[in-house]
A and B are shown apart, each in its own frame.
Chain A
Amino acid sequence: MEKILQVNDLHISFDIHAGEVQAVRGVTFDLYKGETLAIVGESGSGKSVTSKALMRLLPTPPSRIKQGEILFEGKDLTKLSEKEMQSIRGAKISMIFQDPMTSLNPTMTIGKQIMEAILKHQKLSKDEARKRAIELLQLVGIKNAELRMKQYPHQFSGGMRQRVVIAIALACNPKILIADEPTTALDVTIQAQILELMKDIQKKLGMSIIFITHDLGVVANMADRVAVMYAGKIVEIGTVDEIFYNPKHPYTWGLLASMPSLDHKDTELYSIPGSPPDLLNPPKGDAFAPRNPYALKIDYELEPPMFQVSDTHYAATWLLHEMAPKVEPPAIVRERMERFADIVARKGGKPRG
């Protein structure tokens, strides 16, 4: 498959009075054409910072890209001027944000806000741009588009506003759509509608989506591949089946075990003990070690490298080292692994990993 975006060893720090907060500490991933890559992790894991850095939307100062590269269409986005970035933002890479209630300008009509993006990047007259904006509103499922164009954000419900935000992001047929928790602020029924809409549009337009979320239910529904982030690093990356049914990293185990499920409605919901490390002074070794019941002595000394599990599946945990002791993942995860074996058997392949 064709790689559309390559992120190599990206480091992002924030310089604050107390020192340097290393929010992203060496993130590497590829994005393929037409796929949905989900980036999951708890608050402060660096997933939002990574996504904003791809668009160069982080304020500098205090933030800075310390090292690494973001390769897109043969260019390194970390090295482009602000002017060059402006021709990419909204045209080739678009972004939608978490809270539709605040991400639209309250004093500008919906139509103007959509047309603004079209007129910025495409050589169209105002009338053509208006026509295109109406088409976009229809594409995202807003009825009476012509009338709605003249209305203001406060005349729309939350779900409808998120549709408008999506329409703005799609204005110039972007190659990549970055969605930063696009459904977190919506209630579940609306959430499902927005996710359906995004899948539908992806099918029609063929763009790639980077989906930032902490909701594993949404990931299972949306993603082709999943990257799990912890303390500014990707600790495990693989296809959605591999991450859900054959996870290798103890942090992924913890995440999956803490996901509510219909099969286990009588048992108490698991939660990962402790809290994420302070990235002002990142710990030595594996950042997850202090919260990890499976931590080995080496986890406190040396950071684990990425171990390859399959062609598509990598995880950064010493447990995958050939000399590591065999450990049993939590019961919930074991059940999942058994189901994974079934899925693979049904698909007629050999179970991997």
Chain B
Amino acid sequence: MARYTFQRFVYMVITLFIIATLTFFLMKLLPGSPLQNQEKLTPEQKALILKEYGLDKPVPVQYIQYLGNLLKGDLGVSFQYDNRPVTELISDRIGPSAQLGFQAIVFGTIVGLILGIVAAIRHNHWEDYTATVIAVLGASIPSFVLGGFLQYFIAVKLQWLPVAFWEGFKYTILPTLALSVGVIASIARFMRTEMLEVLSSDYILTARAKGISQAGVIMKHAIRNSLIPVITILGPMTVNLMTGTLVIEKLFAVPGLGEQFVRSIELNDYPVIMGTTLFYSALLILAVFIVDVLYGVVDPRIRLAGGKK
């Protein structure tokens, strides 16, 4: 397992390097410059500022410099927020984003699993059809459409919950709901399919032949075996959730990383764009790694194969 983990770590570093390179050059292709809306500055002043930040040098030189700083753990300073270091900006903003993402994935996974399990147990009954409709709707409605919908009906019309901002748990409910619907939909769909397959397998028959009750068969034998493929989609789903938060944070005026990220792109704040992208990527790679480890926890066959490596 130690060697396996080390191997994964090396892959993670390589992946991050590739992402850093691609983002750097893509970002340089963006139109405009950080100083595009500063009409009051004279061209001389602008040139001075560009020189100060090293933006006057050719792109390849900038790239080498950037990589050098990156190795030292220096993500640079922001252009828009009074020269504050990017690392500090990220750590300031990570709180709300992390909370939102975490709430959405926990809530979404739990509700999705319950829906999927119920649908499979009550296969071809109304519970199954209801769950399927919810899953299809959840998968086809984008989170920002649902977010606007929730804001209008629950916050504006019914006034049950605040429409936006981030001032306590009440404020987190609507964005969490908007964000988790996609999670619910995909988990429910996968869980239902897997449960149906597992429930018709031979070992379920063996368990029933032992005299175990229907509830016991489902709890002890069916759910765990159905979870294996469901864990697979947790990785890609984290990606969806992260891109989802960018929009949802903007929509609900949540002072999170995503909202800041969108702003930095609008203002060509290169160090923040780079820093946040790298941070998201690292998070993602970590999520995939955790999924790999989870596999081993659930499925003993994988655990042993990994151990032998």
Contacts and interface: CB of A to CB of B under 8 A. Distances in A.
Contacts of B202: 97, 99, 102-103
B211 A121 contact: yes
B218 to A, nearest CB: 13
Interface in A140-171: 152, 154-155, 165, 168-169, 171
A49 to B, nearest CB: 13
Contact of B298 (A87, A90, A102, A107): A107
A116 B205 contact: no
B301 interface: yes
Contacts of A5: none
B246 to A, nearest CB: 37
Main secondary structure of the interface of B (DSSP, over half): helix
A86 B211 contact: yes
Contacts, number: 77
Contacts of B211: 86-91, 117, 120-121
B212 interface: yes
Interface stretch (B16-24, B39-47, B151-159, B219-227): B219-227
Given A107-B300, A152-B301, A102 B203 contact: yes
B210 interface: yes
B209 A120 contact: no
A105 B201 CA distance: 9
Interface of A: 55, 57, 82-83, 86-91, 94-95, 97, 99, 102-108, 116-117, 120-121, 152, 154-155, 165, 168-169, 171
Contact of B209 (A57, A107, A108, A154): A57
B300 A168 contact: no
Given A152-B301, A154-B301, A103 B203 contact: yes
B225 to A, nearest CB: 6
Contacts of A105: 203, 206-207, 221, 225
Given A104-B203, A105-B203, 19 more contacts: A55-B209, A57-B205, A57-B209, A86-B213, A89-B208, A89-B209, A89-B210, A90-B209, A90-B210, A97-B205, A99-B202, A102-B202, A103-B203, A103-B206, A106-B203, A106-B225, A116-B220, A120-B210, A154-B300
26 contacts: A57-B205, A57-B208, A57-B209, A88-B211, A91-B211, A94-B209, A97-B202, A97-B205, A97-B206, A102-B202, A103-B203, A104-B203, A105-B203, A105-B221, A106-B203, A106-B301, A107-B300, A108-B221, A116-B210, A152-B300, A152-B301, A154-B300, A154-B301, A154-B304, A168-B206, A168-B210
Contact size class for B?
A: 20 to 34
A103 B224 CA distance: 16
Contacts of A107: 224-225, 228, 298-300
A171 B201 CA distance: 22
Nearest to B214: A82
Contact of B212 (A86, A88, A95, A165): A86
Contacts of B228: 107
Given A86-B213, A152-B300, A152-B301, A104 B208 contact: no
B299 to A, nearest CB: 6
A83 B211 CA distance: 9
A107 B300 CA distance: 6
A57 B208 CA distance: 8
Contact of B300 (A55, A99, A103, A106): A106
Nearest to A99: B202
Nearest to A85: B211
Nearest to A105: B203
The 6 closest A-B pairs by CB, nearest first: A90-B211, A90-B210, A89-B211, A102-B202, A117-B210, A103-B202
Nearest to A61: B124
Contacts of A89: 208-211
Given A104-B203, A105-B225, A106-B225, A95 B209 contact: yes
Interface in B174-207: 201-203, 205-207
A300 to B, nearest CB: 39
A141 to B, nearest CB: 20
Contacts of A154: 300-301, 304
B54 to A, nearest CB: 56
Contacts of A99: 202
Contacts of A106: 203, 225, 299-301
A103 B299 contact: no
Given A86-B212, A154-B301, A104 B206 contact: yes
Contacts of A152: 300-301
A156 B206 CA distance: 17
Nearest to A114: B210
Contacts of A87: 211
Nearest to A100: B202
A102 B209 contact: no
Contacts of A88: 211
B69 to A, nearest CB: 47
B122 to A, nearest CB: 13
A120 B206 CA distance: 14
* Max chain A C-beta neighbours (<10 A), residue from B203, B214, B301: B203
A11 B207 CA distance: 26
Contacts of A165: 206
Nearest to A91: B211
Contacts of A91: 211
